[in-house]
């Protein structure tokens, strides 16, 4: 029985860790983070493969969790794809470390490790390991210098930034 409980704990909670090289931002303010974020770049995963014009919308749910709605356009299929989920804090609301679920009880890490604390105009987010990375901004395009700087910061933390997909928002 102990083995079954341990396996279930691993399956249900095993994806809410973070890379050793990443630390979530402190002084996080959820109310400033809510709203629309555009995906500037990402590492490839099947759930986003082939999508352009990707954006995420965050809003507060009545139960205190965060509503997450992701949109992306699949040009090959000629249609928009949408995924709705929920997020909640792993530690405390002042730490940019959340877990997100799009599939029932299964959660994945959402670790904000770079953030424009002054204006909340860009963020860099990791999943449970260095194969998950997103560069997000409030606008579909960001300055080339900022994009390069955020890419360098992610590379310094062990992410394969040579494999980044820079998302088109045409």
SS3 state of residue 71: strand
Q: How far apart are CA 57 and CA 72, in angstroms?
A: 12
Q: What is the pTM of this model?
A: 0.90
CATH code of 118's domain: 2.40.128.20
- How many separate domains does the chain show? 1
For the chain, 170 residues long, the average pLDDT of each consecutive 10-residue run is 38 73 98 98 95 98 96 96 96 96 90 98 97 98 98 98 96
The confidence score (pLDDT) of residue 65 equals 95
Phi/psi of residue 164, each to 5°? -60, 140
The confidence score (pLDDT) of residue 104 equals 80
Going by C-alpha positions, the residue among 135, 108, 149, 122 that lies closest to residue 14 is: 108
Contact in structure between 40 and 147 (CB atoms under 8 Å) = yes
Full domain range(s) for residue 103: 2-166
**C-alpha dihedral over 109, 58, 103, 134, to 10 degrees?**
-40
């Amino acid at each position: 029985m102990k083995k079954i409980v341990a396996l279930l704990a691993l399956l249900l909670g095993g994806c809410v860790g973070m890379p050793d090289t990443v630390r979530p931002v402190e002084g996080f303010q959820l109310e400033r983070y809510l709203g629309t974020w555009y995906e500037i770049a990402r590492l490839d995963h099947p759930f986003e493969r082939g999508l352009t014009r990707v954006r995420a919308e965050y809003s507060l749910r009545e139960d205190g969790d965060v509503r997450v709605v992701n949109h992306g356009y699949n040009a090959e299929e000629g249609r928009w794809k949408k995924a709705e989920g929920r997020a909640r804090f792993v530690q405390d609301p002042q730490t940019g470390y959340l877990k997100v679920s799009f599939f029932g009880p299964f959660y994945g890490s959402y670790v904000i490790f770079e953030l424009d604390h002054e204006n909340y105009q860009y963020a860099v987010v990791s999943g449970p390991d260095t194969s998950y990375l997103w560069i997000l901004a409030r606008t579909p395009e960001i300055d080339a210098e900022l994009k390069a700087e955020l890419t360098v910061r992610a590379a310094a933390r062990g992410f394969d930034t040579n494999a980044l997909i820079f998302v088109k928002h045409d």
